[in-house]
Amino acid sequence: MKALKLFERHGSNVTFGIIVFILAMMPVLLMLGVVSSSSTILFLGKCISFAIVAIGIDLIWGYTGILSLGHGLYFALGGYAMAMYLKMQATGGQITDFMHIGGLTELPFVWEFFTLSPGSLLFVVITPAVVAWIVGYFIFKNRVKGVYFSIISQALTWAACSLFIAMSPYTNGNVGITEIKSIFGSIKGSANQGNMFLLFYVAIIALVAIYALSKFLVERKFGKVLIAIRDGENRTYFSGYPVSRYKTFIYVLSAAFAGVAGAIFVNFNGCITPSQMTITYSIGMVIWVAIGGRGTIIGAVIGAFFINICEYNLSSGSTVEVWQYIIGILFCVTILFFKGGIVGLVQDTAPRIIEKIRTGKVKA
C-alpha cells in the first residue's frame, strides 16, 4: 500500500526514476551479454538526446501554449557547435578536407571560436539561446502567437537549413560534418567500450539534471504563470504579468535544452547534417510530446523513447515501407481520442486500478 501511495503522489518522478534505472543498467547488461550489441547503447544515447529536446518543447507547448515547429534549428545549432569543436580538436585547429575542396585556404573566422578548449563548448548552449532570444524578443513583444508563430518558426528553420546547405565550404553542405569522435575519444569497437559507457552515463546525468530543473520550474509559481498564459494570455496580461518576458525566457530555455540535446546526439551519432534541421525533424519532435502527453514533462520523456524505439524496430523488415504511416496514424489517434497521450491514459485508468486494489477487488 505504501508503494501505491508513493506512485499516486509522485507517479511521474517514480516513472522517471524507473526509466533512468533501466538506462543505467544497459551497459551492465551489455557486459553480461544480455544485450547483444553496443549499437543498442548508441541508439539509447540518441534517445536520451531526443528526450531532452522533448522536455524543452513540452515547456513551451505543453505548459505555455507555444507550438514551435522549428526546434530542429536549435537542436542542429547545438549539434553543429559540438561537431565544430570536436573537428577542431581532431585537426589541431587546421582547416578540414571539405574546406580545402571548397577553395578555402585559411580557417574561417567562425571556426576559430572552436579552437579554444574547453570554453568553446559553451557555444553549444549560447548559440541556440542567442538565436532564440532574438526571435522570441521581437515575436513575443509584438504578441505574435498561435498558428502565426508556428508558421514563422517553420520559415526560420527552412531558411536556416537552406543557408547551411548553401554555405558548403564552411558547413560541407548536405553532407554535413562527419567522421567525428566523441568528446571522450572514439566509442567504436570493443577497445573503446569504456569511452562509450562514460559518454552514456554523462548523457543520463544531463537528462536527470534537465528533468529536475524543468520539474522545479513548473511546480513553482513560475509554472503556474506559464499555465495561465497558455489558458488565458490576455487575462494574464491584464493581471499585471509581463507575458512577453515569460514567453521569451521559456523559449530561450527550451532552445538551450535543444542545443544540449544536439550536442549529445552528435557524440553518439558521429556526424551532424542539415537533415536534423529540417521542418520534418522538428514536427517529429512535436509528435513525441503529443503522444507521450504534453504538459507533464514525464510525457515528453516517455514519448521520445516510445516513438523512437517504435521507429527503430519498424523501419526495417516487412514494415520498412509503411512505418511512417503507422507513426502518423498513431499520432492522429492520440490527438483525436487521447489528448492527454500515454500519460493521460494512465492517469485516467490508474486511479480506478488503485481503488480496486484498496477495496480488495484486485489482489495487490
Model pLDDT for residues 303-355, shown as the tens digit of each residue: 999 999 988 888 776 777 788 888 888 888 887 877 788 888 887 776 666 56
Q: What is the model's pLDDT at position 235?
A: 93
Position 79, amino acid: G
> Which cell numbers in the block locate residue 25?
543498467
How distant is the alpha carbon of residue 99 from its chain centre? Answer: 30
State the DSSP H helix or E strand holding residue 208, giving kind and residue range, or none if neither. helix 193-218
Separation CA 294–CA 65 (nearest Å): 10
Q: What is the model's pLDDT at position 359?
A: 67
Q: What is the model's pLDDT at position 364?
A: 45
Q: Does domain 2-359 have CATH number 1.10.3470?
A: yes
How far, in Å, are 28, 235, 286 from residue 193 at the CA level?
Answer: 12, 55, 33
Q: Which of 164, 199, 157 is nearest to 81 (CA)?
A: 164
Separation CA 82–CA 281 (nearest Å): 19
| 364, burial (CB in 10 Å: exposed 0-12, middle 13-18, buried 19+) | exposed
Phi and psi at residue 94, to the nearest 5°: -95, 165
| β-sheet bridge partners, residue 272 | 177
pLDDT digits (tens, 9 = 90+) for 190-238: 889 999 999 999 999 999 999 999 999 999 999 999 999 999 999 999 9
Say if CB 285 and CB 72 are below 8 A apart: yes
Give the SS3 label for residue 90.
Answer: helix
Cell 509503411 identifies what position?
A: 322
Task: Choose the weakest-confidence range: 93-107, 135-149, 229-243, 322-336.
Answer: 322-336
pLDDT digits (tens, 9 = 90+) for 38-48: 999 999 999 99
> Which cell numbers in the block locate residue 7?
506512485
- Averaged pLDDT, 163-183: 92
Say if CB 62 and CB 70 are below 8 A apart: no
